[in-house]
Amino acid sequence: MEWWQNSPCPQLVLDADAATVERANDTFWAWSGLREEDILGTSFARLLPVGDRILWSTHCLPKLESSGRVSEVSLQVIGAGGVRRAAFLTASRLPAAAPPPVPGLVETVDGDEAHPEAGQVLVALFGAAERRRYEEDLLETTRRAEASEARRAQAEAGLQHLAHHDPVTGLLNRRGLQVALLGLLTGNATAGATGHHPDTDEVVTSLGCPVVFFIDLDGFKAVNDAIGHAGGDTLLNTVAERLRTSVRAQALLARFAGDEFVIADHLATRDDIDALCQRLLAALAEPVVIAGVEVVVSASIGVARCADDPTGRLGETATRAESLLHRADAAMYQVKHGSRAGGAGGWAVHDPGAPDPAADRLRLLEQLRHAVTNGQLRLHYQPRIDLSDGSTSGVEALVRWAHPERGLLSPAHFIEAAESSGLIRELGAWVIDAAVAQTAAWNAAGRRLQVGVNVSARQLSDPALVGVVTAALARHGVPASQLVIEITETALMVDPEAAAANLQQLTDLGTLVAVDDFGTGYASLTYLRRFPVHELKIDQSFVAGVVVSPRDRAIVAGCIQLAHALGLVSVAEGVETSAQRDVLIDLGCQVVQGYFYGRPQSPDSLQP
């Protein structure tokens, strides 16, 4: 019937097996571009792309078989020229006893006998091009989102790796070590930043109880200075590689700081520990040739066993990890600076019963950091007397720490720790600022004094030093010429390049430079030419003997003459008696300071 032929939907009739195409309406021929002779009597599945053919065979047919109908299956039909047309397919089986649902099918247009039979399958298609495009867009968007998510995850993993590894050696860095060590302590290997695989045997005996080795290269800095940073990196890589080959595959290996490495592994016995230490030292002792230079590295190793942990195995994991590192560091420190002859090389296992200088030092530093920011530091000032007229021409600022428990501490108690930790920068900056502020106060009160401030080796090589001084002078409106930067010979020689640069800039600014403790440091006097120096402060150990020891007197005389020959001011420290004063006057010394004239004292009590 015509209306079936011209139905808005392309339609087909399949045989009772839903396999063969028996008829199709005009709408289908027009829609698909196919001709009757192309497909009548052939397989319907062949009109579908392979994927849809599978869909049809595995899903539509069984469903049609069992329920008599499938609805709105999204698929494609291959039309003329292989063009695919997206469509929704709905199909139903004509019920056996029912009259044909499409009356037009009974009387065919051209009178052939293609009567629809009960059991035949009627297929209706609904064009779905729009829907298909929409789905394709959606899919593409989904895929893009997945891809970008995957890239993000990858980037994140990369960042994580970067954050946990040392770029020079590829070993874990400090942070990576901390994470991995936590994993090791909890027996949870996946928490580690490396592929640590605990072996089942080990787990039984020592799960969560590793041994930590703290390895410090001896004299690395000198090597680094001698062969340059690139050479230093090569050396570090060589060391890292040797450590790697000395330990078991599952051990944690980290570069903790500059020349400090850490190994953590499950080792059961003291013999195992000693064997590993021997292996490590032997591996490191092999000379390394860098840029044609043979370098010999030695190391000090400190060992801490989890089993010795004073906090016990019940302690919080993070605390236990910290304690392990800390105790291994302490043991290393003991080896390096301890009683051993030669001072370096070898290993020690941390004894939890032994006093812990490293722990004390850490505690001290923590308190000192607190002290700097919380106003526990004081400056005391020791007068300097100009022997030409007996007047107080200046003072030396000396830092004191008003420790809440231990009372007023002199620099001997804390400066070395501050210097070695870098805390000296903040402390030094505070001292400079406070001294300049006091100078300004005296200026305002009409007392014009030169103020000497001690600057440490670390400060002296710190590029920030000039800025600190400039800022302090500017802030308090003090002329640079009132400030005397006091440095030791030793400090000058630590990083001569940086020191020279700093001192030159400070001198350009107008500040004066004094060499402190003169005569006790390097014998070479070349630095007196190299650095811009204005004063020599002769060490008090010579001054102390100047009356009784002809030798000391000769040294002091030599220093004074040297100073004058170079156009420098001669200053004698530690003057305690009038006899010493008299000798110094005889020798032509220009400035003196010491208990004879006045102890270091608070600015208020400083007598004019």
Partner 1 sequence: MTALDFPSPMDAAGELMHPAPPVIPHDSLGAGGPAAPAQVLARHHVTEHGDPNGPVLLLAHGFGAGQGAWGRLLPHFPRHRIITFDHAGSGATDIADFDHDRHGSLTGYAEDVLAICAALDLHQVTYVGHSVSSMIGVLAAAAEPDRFASLVLVAPSARYIDDPGSGYIGGFSYEDITELLTSLDSNYYAWSSAMAPVVMGTPDTPELGAELTKSFLGTHPDAARTFARAIFLSDTRAVLPRIAAPVLVLQCRHDALAPEAVGQSVATALPAGELVHLTATGHCPHVSAPAETAAAIHHHLLTRPERPGITELTPPTTQLPAPRQA
- Residues found near partner 1 in the complex (CB under 8 A): 17-20, 43, 45-46, 49-63, 65-67, 70-71, 73-76, 135-136, 138-139
Q: What are the structure tokens assigned to 326, written together?
A: 């800390």
Q: Residue 41 or 355: which CB sits closer to partner 1?
A: 41
Residue 466: phi and psi, rounded to 5, are -60, -40
Residue 554: phi and psi, rounded to 5, are -65, -40
What is the C-alpha to C-alpha distance for residues 85 and 425, in angstroms, rounded to an integer?
77
In angstroms, what is the minimal distance from the CB of 93 to partner 1?
A: 12
Q: Residue 13 or 280: which CB sits closer to partner 1?
A: 13
In angstroms, what is the minimal distance from the CB of 289 to partner 1?
A: 42
CA angle at 532 for the pair 530 and 533, rounded to the nearest 5°: 110
Q: Residue 56 or 333: which CB sits closer to partner 1?
A: 56
In angstroms, what is the minimal distance from the CB of 42 to partner 1?
A: 11
What is the C-alpha to C-alpha distance for residues 105 and 93, in angstroms, rounded to an integer?
15
Q: What is the dihedral of CA 377, 379, 380, 386, to 10 degrees?
A: 160
DSSP alpha helix (H) spans, 291-350:
317-337
Helix/strand/coil (H, E, C) string of 45-87? Answer: HHHCCHHHHHHHHHHHHHHHHHHCEEEEEEEEEECHHHCEEEE
In angstroms, what is the minimal distance from the CB of 244 to partner 1?
A: 27
Q: What are the structure tokens assigned to 575, written together?
A: 């003057």
Q: Residue 70 or 449: which CB sits closer to partner 1?
A: 70
CA angle at 332 for the pair 327 and 334, rounded to the nearest 5°: 95
Q: Residue 53 or 378: which CB sits closer to partner 1?
A: 53
Q: Residue 6 or 58: which CB sits closer to partner 1?
A: 58
Q: Residue 139 or 163: which CB sits closer to partner 1?
A: 139
307, 171 contact by CB (below 8 A): no
In angstroms, what is the minimal distance from the CB of 95 to partner 1?
A: 17
Q: Where are the beta strands (DSSP E) in 252-292?
A: 252-257, 260-265, 288-290
DSSP alpha helix (H) spans, 311-423:
317-337, 357-373, 415-421
In angstroms, what is the minimal distance from the CB of 148 to partner 1?
A: 17
In angstroms, what is the minimal distance from the CB of 222 to partner 1?
A: 52
Q: Residue 124 or 560: which CB sits closer to partner 1?
A: 124
In angstroms, what is the minimal distance from the CB of 50 to partner 1?
A: 4
What is residue 465's three-state secondary structure?
helix
In angstroms, what is the minimal distance from the CB of 52 to partner 1?
A: 7
359, 330 contact by CB (below 8 A): yes
Q: How far, rounded to the nearest angstrom, does the alpha carbon of residue 420 sit from its chain's CA centroid?
A: 20
Q: Residue 93 or 350: which CB sits closer to partner 1?
A: 93
Q: How many CB atoms lie within 10 A of CB 390?
A: 9
In angstroms, what is the minimal distance from the CB of 60 to partner 1?
A: 8
Q: What are the structure tokens assigned to 285, written together?
A: 């002792």
Q: Residue 54 or 157: which CB sits closer to partner 1?
A: 54
Q: Residue 16 or 344: which CB sits closer to partner 1?
A: 16
Q: Residue 66 or 205: which CB sits closer to partner 1?
A: 66
Single out the residue of 608, 605, 603, 596 nearest to residue 397, CA to CA: 603
In angstroms, what is the minimal distance from the CB of 119 to partner 1?
A: 12
In angstroms, what is the minimal distance from the CB of 117 to partner 1?
A: 16
In angstroms, what is the minimal distance from the CB of 150 to partner 1?
A: 13
Angle between helix axes 496-509 and 465-476 (nearest 10 degrees) is 20
Single out the residue of 389, 484, 392 nearest to residue 436, CA to CA: 484
Which of 269-298 are b and which e, b meaning 16 or more Cβ less than 10 Å from the residue's Cβ? eeeebeebbeebbebbeeebebeeeebebb
Q: Residue 49 or 521: which CB sits closer to partner 1?
A: 49
333, 302 contact by CB (below 8 A): yes
Q: How many CB atoms lie within 10 A of CB 238?
A: 18
Q: What are the structure tokens assigned to 237, written together?
A: 């890589």
What is the C-alpha to C-alpha distance for residues 379 and 77, in angstroms, rounded to an integer?
93
32 CB contacts (<8 Å, ≥6 apart)?
10, 77, 79, 80, 85
Residue 223: phi and psi, rounded to 5, are -65, -45
Q: What are the structure tokens assigned to 384, written together?
A: 């300097």
In angstroms, what is the minimal distance from the CB of 84 to partner 1?
A: 9
Q: Residue 75 or 348: which CB sits closer to partner 1?
A: 75
What is the C-alpha to C-alpha distance for residues 185 and 191, in angstroms, rounded to an integer?
10
